[in-house]
Amino acid sequence: MDPAKAADVTTQEYLHLADDCLARVARWLEAFDPDEVDYSTIDGMVSLEFPDGQRFLLNRQSGNHQIWFAAGVSAWHYDWAPVRETWLDDKDGSELYQRIAAAVAGKLGRAVVAV
């Protein structure tokens, strides 16, 4: 395991980090017009809902201490990276919040402020 990309964290640490991540994204979504993108939260998940019925999902994967993001037909898995203090894709190392902003911008057809 690459220490720059992932870290062994306790379950308690993981839950705290994951819940902070989900709360950060939910706060970011509050700035959007609900006619453009709406959202809902339930324990361990944020669902982004678009007027055409498409949903993007961000959720905890407690068993492997990851955050998963699904947008359309694409999905990514993120590990906590303590060196950068963020969530990084387990395959290409891209940052979660940038990917969410890019996916929402692509769906809306306009630039959006980063998460």
Which CATH number do you get for residue 88?
Answer: 3.30.920.10
Please state the separation of Cα 95 from the chain's center in Å. Answer: 9
Given the structure tokens 């678009």, which residue do they identify? Answer: 50
Residue 115 lies in a domain: no
Asked if residue 2 is part of any domain, the answer here is no
pLDDT of residue 7: 59
Task: Give the chain's domain count.
Answer: 1
Residue range(s) defining the domain that contains residue 79:
11-108
Please report which confidence band the pLDDT of residue 8 belongs to, taking 50, 70 and 90 as the band edges.
confident
The answer to whether residue 4 sits within a structural domain is no
Run of H or E including 89: strand 86-89
| Domain presence at residue 51 | yes
DSSP state of 23: H
Is residue 6 in some structural domain?
no
Using alpha carbons, list the distances in angstroms from residue 26 to 16, 31, 36, 55, 105: 15, 9, 15, 14, 16
Any domain includes 114: no
* pTM for this predicted structure: 0.92
The answer as to whether 63 is a domain residue is yes
Is the torsion defined by CA of 18, 20, 21, 27 positive or negative? positive
**What was the pLDDT predicted at 68?**
98
For residue 113, is it within any domain? no
Residue type for position 46: V
Cα–Cα distance measured from residue 50 to residue 38, given in angstroms and rounded to the nearest whole number: 6
Q: How confident is the model over 17-63, as pLDDT tens digits?
A: 999 999 999 999 999 999 999 999 999 999 999 999 999 999 999 99
Residue whose token pair is 């970011």: 28
Q: Would you mind telling me the total number of residues written for the chain in this entry?
A: 115
CB 81 within 8 A of CB 94: no
